[in-house]
């Protein structure tokens, strides 16, 4: 059995990623907010993937650098109009050091939770603090955990039913390690295909604590990119951290 490593998700899903997720969020508003937070400086995206956000952000005049562990995802980014000029570092974004400092470091679409342990997530915050300019911003877009989704420690969702394809998501939940292992199962006329994804989720309060360990402070938290107020019922958050005591 193949083991799961930081590149597995991207390598297995790259050829269908844009078809599944290109329009999963409001790209225009995301990019407008990130451009404002970059404040005329340069940006670093953690888990840049196929460039869904980075390419339109670069098109707005922001110099963007990316880190990703999957060569297959980056190949897709390079094939996008405007993608070839974006510099990429291949590796684990909790560990990789990129030359220079950035006014904005960002990680969107729950990608921070791709780091498999609390230790890796703490190392990532430290690495972000190293890469930020004084006064810079670190932005995380992520879901708010909802353990109630997992009755009996598991969950099954039918995410697509098309004429020639069905996608079923099968998940198991470990509430102690805060881990969810999922298989996106694609059933097509050619056969069955498996796209695994494994995450370690964190509560907003835990992210804030990790930030403090790295010398960052929560500066703003919204429910989404339209800067809606974050409340106890918000299913997601966009959190902005800045260096500070």
Residue with Cβ nearer ligand SAM (10 or 136): 10
- Residue with smaller CB distance to ligand SAM, 114 or 224: 114
Binding residues (CB under 6 A) for ligand SAM: these are 6, 9-10, 21, 47-49, 52-53, 67-70, 73, 92-94, 108-109, 111, 114-115
Specify the DSSP element, H or E, that contains 77. helix 71-79
Torsion (CA) 98, 100, 101, 105 in degrees, nearest 10: -30
What φ, ψ does residue 121 adopt, rounded to 5°? -70, -40
What's the min distance (Å) between Cβ of 7 and ligand SAM? 6
In angstroms, give the least distance from the CB of 119 to ligand SAM.
Answer: 13
Report the nearest approach of ligand SAM to the CB of residue 12 (Å): 10
Minimum CB separation of residue 71 from ligand SAM in Å reads 9
Smallest gap from Cβ 242 to ligand SAM, in A, equals 21
State which residue, 56 or 114, has the beta carbon closest to ligand SAM. 114
Distances (CA, A) of 64 to 91, 103, 214, 224: 17, 11, 23, 22
User: Residue 98 contacts by C-beta under 8 Å, 6 or more apart in sequence?
Assistant: 44, 65, 67, 89, 131
Residue 49 or 83: the one with the smaller Cβ distance to ligand SAM is 49
Q: Would you say 160 or 217 has its CB closer to ligand SAM?
A: 160
Strand order across the beta sheet in which 132-143 lies: 88-90, 64-68, 43-46, 102-107, 132-143, 236-243, 216-222
In degrees rounded to 5, what are phi and psi of residue 82? 90, -10
Contact of 37 with 123, CB cutoff 8 Å: no
């Amino acid at each position: 059995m193949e083991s799961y490593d930081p590149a597995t998700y991207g390598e297995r899903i790259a050829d269908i990623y844009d078809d599944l997720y290109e329009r999963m969020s409001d790209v225009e508003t995301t990019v407008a907010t990130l451009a404002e937070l970059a404040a005329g400086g340069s940006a670093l995206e953690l888990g840049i993937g196929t460039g869904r956000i980075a390419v339109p952000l670069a098109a707005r005049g922001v110099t963007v650098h990316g880190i990703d562990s999957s060569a297959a995802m980056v190949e897709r980014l390079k094939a996008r109009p405007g993608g070839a000029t974006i510099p990429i570092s291949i590796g684990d974004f909790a560990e990789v050091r990129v030359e220079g400092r950035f006014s904005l470091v960002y990680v969107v679409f729950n990608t921070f939770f791709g780091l498999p342990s609390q230790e890796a997530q703490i190392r990532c915050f430290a690495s972000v603090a190293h890469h930020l300019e004084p006064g810079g911003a670190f932005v995380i877009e992520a879901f708010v955990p909802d353990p109630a989704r997992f009755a009996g420690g598991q969950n099954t969702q039918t995410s697509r039913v098309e004429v020639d394809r069905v996608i079923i998501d099968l998940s198991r939940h470990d509430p102690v390690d805060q881990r969810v292992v999922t298989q996106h199962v694609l059933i097509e006329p050619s056969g069955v295909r498996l796209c695994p994804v494994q995450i370690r989720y964190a509560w907003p309060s835990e992210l804030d604590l990790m930030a403090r360990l790295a010398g960052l402070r929560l500066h703003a938290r919204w429910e989404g990119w339209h800067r809606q107020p974050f409340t106890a019922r918000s299913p997601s958050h966009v959190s902005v951290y800045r260096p500070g005591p």
